[in-house]
Amino acid sequence: MKVLSKIFIDALTIKQAREHLTYRQLSEKTGVTAVTISKVINGKVDTAQERTFDKLNDWLLKEE
């Protein structure tokens, strides 16, 4: 399990807003379920499976 820092969650939220993505659209781009994305962004969970963290982190680092 990976700990989800406030900085990581804020970065997800900011990039999601900049790209005007819904949780469902972000789910399609990352391969992480919309429910999990919602829980992460809304602070309902503070850890994630390593694979989930890696998928979200890869999306954050991807330049479009």
- Evaluated on CA atoms 55, 20, 34, 45, the torsion sign reads positive
> Distance between CA atoms of 64 and 49, rounded to whole angstroms?
26
- Is domain 2-61 in CATH 3.90.45.10, yes or no? no
Amino acid at the residue 40:
V
| Interatomic CA distance for residues 36 and 15, integer angstroms | 17
pTM confidence score = 0.92
pLDDT in tens, the chain (64 residues): 999 999 999 999 999 999 999 999 999 999 999 999 999 999 999 999 999 999 999 999 997 6
Burial category of 3 from C-beta neighbours within 10 Å (exposed 0-12, middle 13-18, buried 19 and up): exposed
Where in the chain are the domains?
2-61
